[in-house]
Amino acid sequence: MEKKDILFDSEFLKKIEQLRINSRILMSTTASGNRKSKAKGSSVEFSDYREYSIGDDFRRIDWNAYGRFDKLFIKLFMEEREARVNIFVDTSKSMDWGEPNKGVQARRLAAALSYISLSNFDRVSVIAVNNRLVSSIRSVHTKEGFWKVLEYLENMPYEGTTALNKAIREFDGGGGAGISIIISDFLSFDGIKDAIKYLQYKKQDVFLCHILSPEELSPAVGGSIRLVDVETGEARDVTITHGLLKAYQRALDSFIYDIREFCLKRGIKYVQLCSDLSMENMILMTVGEKP
């Protein structure tokens, strides 16, 4: 992959750094950041009251509460903590396909989500997975470190088959609550269900970014052709008919429905993306609203 496939201009980076990956999980790390934590601290977001005790900060006394209850109360605030953001990128051979290429778009999305996270003082790990944990760059925590993430993504190879359950379980994210984003075509989805349950057990807020190419979503082929599995090399000669295309579309719709329903039941954000979408739209569909 050439660097031009991933690089963004400064105007685009300035635009996306205003975004944030919203999580419903309270963070438990000790480093400061922009996320809510169960710990009480000194941020501007109000959390609760408790009675004043000797030694408490006198400036936190709520005089309105004193007027109502004739007792001294101090305000408690949510402490802001960093999030651990783990971005799993499927680098199996099936991702190196389509026009626009699914793998190129997956890497660009991973780069953009990394930059957004680092702009919010989160700690980012990017992990290449296929049928195993291929490699990773871990615990990047400054915007200057974004260029290391970019270099890592640029040199990420496409190889192997898909077994994301095994690969994701091999990754030790450092413990504690966080965010885990999986970017894949999910052409082998059954095993990933166990991986998602495992991540949720590890207190991860899970996001699935499901990338498919236009050719996969609406194939425009006909006649006698040879289909080749890009991951295994297995070939099969078939005759594409209108009926076969309709059967394929029904199978694809059922496949996507299964993923979507599983995510809905588990409280997971599922985003179905076509590789011909603009990167800005992909990002907005994934992260949602501004902070």
Query: Is the predicted pLDDT of residue 34 greater than 70, yes or no?
Result: no
pLDDT by residue (tens digit) across 163-201? Answer: 899 899 999 876 778 999 999 999 877 788 999 999 999
Instruction: Give the total number of structural domains in the chain.
Output: 2
pLDDT by residue (tens digit) across 95-145? Answer: 999 999 999 999 999 999 999 999 988 999 999 999 999 999 999 988 889
Residue 197 lies in a domain: yes
Computed over every residue of the chain, the mean pLDDT equals: 85
Q: Which of 109, 101, 98, 91 is nearest to 6 (CA)?
A: 109
Query: Is the predicted pLDDT of residue 30 greater than 50, yes or no?
Result: no
Residue 248 lies in a domain: no
Q: Are residues 104 and 118 in the same domain?
A: yes
Sign of CA dihedral 182, 133, 131, 193: negative
Residues in the chain: 291
Contact 39, 77 (CB under 8 A): no
Q: Are residues 129 and 172 in the same domain?
A: yes
Residue 101 per-residue DSSP state = T
pLDDT band at 55 (very low <50, low <70, confident <90, very high): low
Q: Are residues 11 and 69 in the same domain?
A: no
Which two structure tokens, joined as six digits, stand for 249?
């579309």
- Whole-model pTM: value is 0.81
Domain carrying residue 167: 3-25+82-217+268-287
23-47 in b/e form (b: 16+ CB < 10 A) is bebbbbbeeebbbbbeeeeebeeee
Q: Is 98 left (phi over 0), alpha (psi -120 to 50) or beta?
A: left
Which two structure tokens, joined as six digits, stand for 273?
């993306």
Q: Rounded to whole angstroms, how far apart are CA atoms 103 and 24?
A: 29
Residue 210 lies in a domain: yes
> Which residue among 48, 81, 114 closes a domain?
81
Residue 278 lies in a domain: yes
Which two structure tokens, joined as six digits, stand for 7?
């690089």
Residue 229 per-residue DSSP state = -
Phi, psi dihedral angles at 58 (to 5 degrees): -60, -25
Region 16-32: mean pLDDT is 70
Residue 247 lies in a domain: no
Residue 246 lies in a domain: no
